[in-house]
Amino acid sequence: MKAKVLLFLLIASLLIGSLVVHANEISSKDVKEESQLKQERKNLQDKLPQLQGGTEKSERNRQQPLTLYDLQKKYPETVILHGPSTAKKIALTFDDGPDPRFTGQVLDVLKQYNVPATFFLMGSRANAYPDIVKRINKEGHIIGNHSYWHPNLVEEADIGTLEREISQTEETLNKIIGYRPKLFRPPYGFLYEALVEYLAKKEFNVILWTVDSLDWQEDPPEKIANKVIKETHPGAIILMHDGGEWDADRTNTIESLRQIIPELQKEGYEFVTVPQLVNIPYKK
């Protein structure tokens, strides 16, 4: 009897022992994979300049001092919301790039459908990834200024910040593509009168939008596409994002383009760049 108990204990302890060893193997493998993943993320986080004013998610919900519509009415020569409604022409715009994860894929889709677009680039990211900027330019798309670090210009509320952000981006882009963009899009679309007046003095056109894809919410591609297709009108400027925070994913944006472009073309729309749509120069 005693021997049986001993044998049972021996078998039980062997079983438990092997389980523990196995569990250790699994968790050490997990830890290894996780730490590798963490390292990869950290590398991206170190290299990819982040949006200084915070994520789209947190910032977009804040109050806007004057609506974009009010600003457009007050400064019609400078602030542009859309093109003429007399022709079925529309413009796709992409913000927050160049992004090494997603911009290339967006360019591939645009090339596939032979459609031009307008990219509002962050100076810090252009500086980090000049080859992507060159590719955007080479493939016939137009580049605009989207500030250097993507600050919240309403919160920072001083012209000095705007001036630095703009001129640094302008210099960076000029070095890479050989022109100073005339188009500016404020981070988060945040503006107030003094900023618009400064931008007007610096010969910028402020390019806003009438169709907001809200793609930064990372909804399924069908949902993004349906929203854009439903809201598009002659002269529309469509807001999308090829770049994002280090943990953002623009895969759904890219997929949605494969639905948006052919569907709107079927409806008779022609895709053009923003300067073509509103008939303004793209460089200073």
Active site residue ranges: 95, 241
The distance of closest approach from Cβ of residue 150 to Zn ion in the complex, given in angstroms and rounded to an integer, is 6
Three-state DSSP string of 196-253: HHHHHHCCCEEECCCEECCHHHCCCHHHHHHHHHHHCCCCCEEEEECCCCCCCCCHHH
Q: Of 182-201, which residues contact Zn ion (CB under 5 A)?
A: 187
The distance of closest approach from Cβ of residue 149 to Zn ion in the complex, given in angstroms and rounded to an integer, is 11
204-215 core/surface letters (b: 16 or more CB in 10 A; e: else): bbbbbbbbbbbb
Q: Of 45-64, which residues contact Zn ion (CB under 5 A)?
A: none
Does residue 96 belong to the site contacting Zn ion (CB under 5 A)?
A: yes
Does residue 215 belong to the site contacting Zn ion (CB under 5 A)?
A: no
Q: Which stretch binds Zn ion (CB under 5 A): 91-99, 172-180, 229-237, 266-274?
A: 91-99
Q: Which stretch binds Zn ion (CB under 5 A): 180-188, 200-208, 218-226, 271-279?
A: 180-188
The distance of closest approach from Cβ of residue 62 to Zn ion in the complex, given in angstroms and rounded to an integer, is 14
Query: In the complex with Zn ion, which residue's Cβ is closer, 199 or 264?
Result: 199
Query: In the complex with Zn ion, which residue's Cβ is closer, 95 or 242?
Result: 95
CB 251 within 8 A of CB 100: no
DSSP 12-55: HHHHHHHHHHHHHHHHHHHHHHHHHHHHHHHHHHHHS---TT--
Of 95, 165, 242, 245, the one binding Zn ion by CB under 5 A? 95
The distance of closest approach from Cβ of residue 203 to Zn ion in the complex, given in angstroms and rounded to an integer, is 22
The distance of closest approach from Cβ of residue 191 to Zn ion in the complex, given in angstroms and rounded to an integer, is 13
- Cα distances (Å, whole numbers) of residue 259 to 51, 92, 109, 226, 265: 29, 13, 11, 9, 10
Compute the distance between CA of residue 160 and CA of residue 236 in angstroms, rounded to an integer. 32
Q: Within the chain, how many helices (H) and strands (E) appear?
A: 12, 9
Query: In the complex with Zn ion, which residue's Cβ is closer, 52 or 259?
Result: 52
Query: In the complex with Zn ion, which residue's Cβ is closer, 13 or 45?
Result: 45
Write each residue from 129 to 148 as x if it is in contact with Zn ion (CB under 5 A), else as -, in one continuous string.
Answer: --------------------
CB 210 within 8 A of CB 233: yes
Query: In the complex with Zn ion, which residue's Cβ is closer, 49 or 187?
Result: 187
Does residue 99 belong to the site contacting Zn ion (CB under 5 A)?
A: no
Compute the distance between CA of residue 210 and CA of residue 232 in angstroms, rounded to an integer. 8
Query: In the complex with Zn ion, which residue's Cβ is closer, 96 or 215?
Result: 96
The distance of closest approach from Cβ of residue 87 to Zn ion in the complex, given in angstroms and rounded to an integer, is 28
Compute the distance between CA of residue 24 and CA of residue 27 in angstroms, rounded to an integer. 5
Which residues form the interface with Zn ion (CB under 5 A)?
Answer: 95-96, 187
